[in-house]
Amino acid sequence: MLDSAPTYSATSSFNSVAARIKSVRMQLGLSRKGFEIQTGISANTLQSWESGKNHLTNKGANKLLLALKKLGLNCSVEWLLYGEGLTPRINASEAESWQEDERILKEVMFFESNNPSSIVYLVRDDSMQPYYELGDYVAGSVRSSSQAEKLIGSNCIVTLDSGITLLRRLSQDNQERFNLYSTNLETKVENAFVMDCHIQRIAQVIWHRSCSRCPF
């Protein structure tokens, strides 16, 4: 469950500073080199932050936030460092972000109240286009791995035994293992296709909230 205030806690999607740094770069649609050209922050520095090799200090976080602001992405230091507060938004004022997030929160809480065992997932890449765009929210009711066969061919939120949570379409080649694949064949994200995977938990997407301000 989410808190009653219009903020978000860290989820499995953004459970580390490194993952959050990578997600904001992807939200801008920039490679590390492209980010360097646009902001002056070197690709090597960015890679060290995204891999977790080097810890992001407060000074580094403020430098990164200033760079993101110049590129039109509103992001808070609380979200970047701790995964708390408003999620990043492109080309929106702080007031607009609060209003939009508050509306989304109410919808999420309504869904969760009617589906006690649920997963809410923030789409953070282009892997499932044209069905879901960057910044959209999707949700579903959790089912056990033994029920996964009933969801073959469906778009699902899947947590693997490794702990990674992905939004993918489910398929199956044999009786024991499953395959996950992206609907966007041109995507370059990691884990676009996951073969012969063991599923820890799974939820078919039955709720979708499009982000009205997402430019993609």
Q: Which CATH number does the domain housing residue 180 bear?
A: 2.10.109.10
> Is residue 2 scored above 60 in pLDDT?
no
Clarify whether residues 15 and 61 are in a common domain. yes
Among 24, 33, 40, 9, smallest CA distance to 73 is for 24
63 and 125, same domain (yes or no): no
Per residue in 60-114, pLDDT (tens digit) is 999 999 998 888 888 888 888 888 766 777 655 555 555 666 777 788 788 888 8
DSSP 88: P
Domain that holds residue 78: 1-114
pLDDT digits (tens, 9 = 90+) for 123-150: 878 899 999 988 788 999 998 777 888 9
In this structure, the answer to whether residues 155 and 193 fall within a common structural domain is yes
Domain boundary among 62, 83, 114: 114
Q: How many domains does the chain have?
A: 2
Q: Provide the percentage of residues in the chain whose pLDDT is more than 90.
A: 31
Confirm whether 214 is domain-assigned. no
Quote the pTM value. Answer: 0.56
Q: Same domain, yes or no, for 138 and 198?
A: yes
Is residue 132 domain-shared with residue 30, that is, in the same domain?
no
pLDDT in tens, 7-41: 333 333 467 898 889 888 877 778 888 889 889 99
Q: Could you tell me where the beta strands, DSSP code E, fall in the chain?
A: 73-74, 89-90, 118-122, 137-143, 155-160, 165-172, 178-181, 193-197, 199-204, 207-209
Q: How far apart are the C-alpha atoms of 86 and 122, rounded to whole Å?
A: 12
CA distance from start to end of the chain: 29
